[in-house]
Structure 1
Amino acid sequence: MKKFTYTDMIAHLGVSSAHPGGSALTKKTFSNENILPDMKVLDIGCGTGQTASFLAKKFQCEVIAIDVHDTMLAKAKKRFDKTGLDIKVIKANAEKLPFTDEIFDYIVAESVIVFTNSDLSLGEMYRVLKKSGKLISIEMTAEDKLTISEKKEITEVYGIKKVLLEEEWKEHFLNTGFSEVIIERDHEANNNQLAADKNDPSEYIDPKLFEILQAHTEVLQKFSGRLGYRIYRCIK
């Protein structure tokens, strides 16, 4: 019997903005970025393609969208075809990016790194960024120290390996090689954006996926005020 994951749940529910803060935070995060039409942007863990679509429309730049989940990729392609956007979609793993060195001006990773082996994925992101390029990442962040059992509860629900404090994330980025890490809080913070945007659910959704959704909701309620997120702008 297939064991479903949190990622399976958001894929089959077709959640447009599963990352903390949702599409409103994405738009706010990029409102002051000067992305030019001749720049190349990589959206890692593109999901159903909402952020990639937004970036391509707003900046008229080249966007490449990657994900490892077939359902996500299919829904992203459907979105791009429907809107007529020329966005390349590639099935790829953040831990082994299929690109040569230093070719992207920007990398976007919204609630992605925490789901990977971050030593590998961050190293790959750094590798494919141009000098002075920027990684913009929105990641789950603990607001205070959690006990071992609390961390275990969170990691089991989301299928992640660790839950980091803000200073631990910063150290991780700097140790990867990034020269500067600018950290921002979202003052209109809202962790649970799963139903906030227009979604694209699959025709059949296994009932077990709703159990994962319920577990997600319970974790957010239980750790309200202790489990948040940050926007990390990392400059190579």
Structure 2
Amino acid sequence: MKQCSYLDFLAAFGVGSAHPGGFTVTKQLLAQFSLGPYTKLLEIGCGTGRTASYIVKQYGSVVSAVEMNETMVQKARKRWNKDGVNIELIKGSIEALTFHDEVFHIVLGESVLAFTNKRKAIDECYRVLQRGGVLLVSEVVTEQHLSVHEEEQIIALYGMEQLLTEQEWIALFQEAQFTTVRVLGGGTIAETISAHIEQPEWDISDFISQDLYEAWISHEQILQQYKHRLGHRIFMCQK
């Protein structure tokens, strides 16, 4: 199976809110912040654009988005045209953002940084945030020790460089010079599944190759096998 085929699966099936907790957690998280028409927000790895569209419609904020996958880019634009929202979309890497320094009040990422060169991506998020701005991300964590073989199995499917514990994530954010790093929530995969309310959205491409179905099956197997040993955390990092 080719590297990153899980991300290709998400793009081909057009899965919106595939991150832990889904769209329910997204709305609960955003409600904790005073978003409004003057809020400048960047969503990194916007996928099919569900969250970005919601923020514009619900809060009237000025939203920009970055996405690397061309299929996701097309599906996001289709959604936004249908929803009648105006969102700046840049096709590019989170590791080399094209925005000027200190532009945004909030940078939001939902299960995105784990798939990047974390050091570069976090540094870029810090750079484009205004002083006092906030990085809000939900990321996968290891809850318990994994053997080398187990970790290799997981990162091979998802195309990650490595898995991190909660404390290792916090250390990365602190190294990037964020003044405050807080954990706002999270839990194991098992806990997330039991609390899940809203199902993901789907925007399925006309052609789905067999290897993407296999990636889906492998993903479901990983969830079941490691549901007590993998989880996620929501980090709030203030510049």
Do the structures match in fold with TM over 0.5? yes
Q: Which residue of 2 aligns with 1:136?
A: 136
Q: Which residue of 2 aligns with 1:78?
A: 78
Q: How far is the alpha carbon of 1:99 from its aligned partner?
A: 0.6
Mapped to 1, the partners of 2:223 and 2:76 lie a distance apart of 27
Which one of the candidate residues 202, 205, 221 is aligned to 1:202?
A: 205
Residue 153 to residue 4, structure 1, CA distance change in 2 (3 Å): closer
Mapped to 1, the partners of 2:186 and 2:3 lie a distance apart of 34
Residues 134-166 of structure 1: per-residue CA shift (max 9 Å, x gap): 010000011122221111111001010111111
Residues 57-115 of structure 1: per-residue CA shift (max 9 Å, x gap): 12101001110000000000000000100111110100000011000000011111000
Does the residue aligned with 2:90 lie in a helix, a strand or coil?
Answer: strand
Q: Which residue of 1 aligns with 2:101?
A: 101
Unaligned runs of 5+ in 2: none
Paired amino acid for 1:209? L
Mapped to 2, the partners of 1:185 and 1:127 lie a distance apart of 25
Does the residue aligned with 1:185 lie in a helix, a strand or coil?
Answer: strand
Q: Which residue of 2 aligns with 1:223?
A: 226
Q: How far is the alpha carbon of 1:199 from its aligned partner?
A: 0.9
Q: Which residue of 2 aligns with 1:41?
A: 41
Paired amino acid for 1:59? Y
The answer as to whether partners of 1:192 and 1:220 remain within 8 angstroms in 2 is: no
Q: Which residue of 2 aligns with 1:61?
A: 61
The answer as to whether partners of 1:192 and 1:217 remain within 8 angstroms in 2 is: no
Q: Which residue of 2 aligns with 1:92?
A: 92
Mapped to 2, the partners of 1:3 and 1:144 lie a distance apart of 25
Q: Which residue of 2 aligns with 1:170?
A: 170
Mapped to 2, the partners of 1:198 and 1:111 lie a distance apart of 16
Q: Which residue of 1 aligns with 2:30?
A: 30
Residue 191 to residue 159, structure 1, CA distance change in 2 (3 Å): farther
Give the root-mean-square deviation of aligned CA atoms. 1.9
Mapped to 2, the partners of 1:170 and 1:209 lie a distance apart of 33
The answer as to whether partners of 2:4 and 2:157 remain within 8 angstroms in 1 is: no
Does the residue aligned with 1:63 lie in a helix, a strand or coil?
Answer: strand
The answer as to whether partners of 1:4 and 1:209 remain within 8 angstroms in 2 is: no
Q: How far is the alpha carbon of 1:208 from its aligned partner?
A: 1.2
Q: Which residue of 1 aligns with 2:5?
A: 5
Residue 55 to residue 184, structure 1, CA distance change in 2 (3 Å): same
TM-score by length of 2: 0.94
How many residues align? The count is 235
Unaligned runs of 5+ in 1: none
Mapped to 1, the partners of 2:107 and 2:3 lie a distance apart of 31
The answer as to whether partners of 1:21 and 1:191 remain within 8 angstroms in 2 is: no
Mapped to 1, the partners of 2:80 and 2:20 lie a distance apart of 23
Q: Which residue of 1 aligns with 2:214?
A: 211
